[in-house]
């Protein structure tokens, strides 16, 4: 199956990165290189792009897409949680811009055998990096009731978590739950009919929770944002696209902490507390897709873009 993914908020990201033609830019979620291709178009021969992705199929597709820019593009198969080590290994101290486009790619959703979609029957997999052994099946069949409750509530915000878990435990006692449709059936039976009529597919939140747990998505995001901000050169920008409230909340809070770290009185001309701000938030409110983009790509409708700009030795405004 061909790697096919429509880049979300493409123009907004390129504008948000404020690209300098000789700069170094990092795409931490390379995918099919839609964003990266546009970044490369704006770079000179002295510029550089580092593309990072943990999905083997994405790496193959992106390598092909970026062939015209092979002299300036470096592609690394890894999770962006290894960002610090990756740029260190490449002898890079500071970068001019970083982009993260979080969540699942269209390819991963549409490729049934990957097990991400509740709309297609497939083995319960959901691994973004297929080199790892643990799959969604291991979580569904191996986690305790308490562990399952935590992830469904914390990562899925699922109102009917107790019903779903009770039915999962009952079903797996008879035989392991092995496919997406088996799990969808269990979830569907656990949610009252009147609630299934609203809020999208009944299994959406359960699948999201299991995928986030398996791929450590929120943990990786929390642990990496500040490292990325620290690595930005003066006026460098970090652009992050999120697709659900949990991710967006993390990005919003860490950006605010990085901007408002100083506790000096506002009338001080310089910071004396030592907690100097790391920069400023460019997007007071997140940038959302235009109606036209949502019409052309329905998966973009929940996307939010937030941008942070690095400023060393920031004065009080």
Residue 167 confidence (pLDDT) above 90: yes
pLDDT band, very low/low/confident/very high, at 60 (cuts 50, 70, 90): very high
Q: What pLDDT sits at residue 315?
A: 44
- Average pLDDT of the residues in 151-175: 97
What is the distance between the alpha carbons of residues 77 and 62, in angstroms, rounded to a whole number? Answer: 11
Looking at the whole model, is its pTM more than 0.85?
yes
pLDDT number for residue 210: 98
Query: With 70 as the cut, is the pLDDT of residue 21 above it?
Result: yes
* Pairwise CA distance, residues 16 & 305, whole Å: 9
| Cα-trace Rg, the chain | 21
How far is CA 235 from each of CA 9, 27, 71, 245, 251, rounded to the nearest angstrom?
21, 17, 25, 28, 19
Strand, helix or coil for residue 207: helix
Question: What pLDDT digit, counting tens, does each position of 66-110 carry?
Answer: 999 999 999 999 999 999 999 999 999 999 999 999 988 888 888
Four-CA torsion 193, 194, 197, 199, nearest 10 degrees: -110
Per-residue pLDDT averaged across 226-234, rounded? 97
> What are the structural domains of the chain?
10-106+217-310 (3.40.50.150), 115-215 (1.10.150.170)
Does residue 316 have a pLDDT over 70? no
Task: Render pLDDT for 29-48 as a digit per residue (tens, 0 to 9).
Answer: 999 999 999 999 999 999 99
């Amino acid at each position: 199956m061909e790697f096919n993914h429509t880049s979300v908020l493409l123009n907004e990201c390129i504008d948000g990165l404020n690209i300098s033609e000789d700069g170094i830019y990092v795409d931490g979620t390379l995918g099919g290189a839609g964003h990266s291709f546009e970044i490369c178009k704006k770079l000179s021969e002295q510029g550089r792009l580092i593309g990072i992705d943990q999905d083997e199929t994405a790496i193959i597709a992106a390598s092909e897409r970026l062939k015209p820019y092979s002299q300036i593009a470096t592609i690394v198969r890894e999770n962006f949680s290894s960002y610090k080590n990756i740029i260190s290994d490449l002898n890079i101290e500071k970068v001019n811009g970083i982009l993260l486009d979080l969540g699942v790619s269209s390819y991963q959703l549409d490729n049934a055998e990957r097990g991400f979609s509740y709309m297609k029957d497939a083995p319960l997999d959901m691994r973004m990096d297929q080199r790892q052994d643990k799959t969604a099946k291991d979580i569904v069949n191996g986690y305790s009731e308490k562990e399952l409750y935590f992830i469904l509530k914390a990562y899925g915000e699922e109102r009917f978590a107790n019903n779903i878990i009770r039915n999962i435990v009952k079903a797996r006692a008879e035989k392991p739950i092995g496919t997406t449709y088996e799990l969808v059936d269990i979830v569907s039976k656990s949610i009252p009919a009147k609630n299934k009529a609203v809020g999208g597919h009944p299994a959406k939140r359960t699948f999201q929770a299991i995928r986030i747990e398996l791929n450590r998505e929120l943990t990786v995001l929390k642990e990496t944002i500040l490292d990325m901000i620290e690595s930005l050169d003066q006026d460098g920008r970090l652009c992050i696209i999120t697709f659900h409230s949990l991710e967006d909340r993390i990005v919003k809070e860490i950006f605010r902490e990085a901007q408002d770290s100083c506790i000096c009185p506002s009338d001080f001309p310089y910071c004396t507390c030592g907690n100097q701000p790391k920069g400023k938030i460019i997007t007071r409110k997140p940038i959302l897709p235009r109606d036209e983009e949502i019409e052309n790509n329905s998966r973009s409708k929940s996307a939010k873009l937030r941008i942070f700009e690095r400023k060393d030795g920031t004065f009080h405004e």
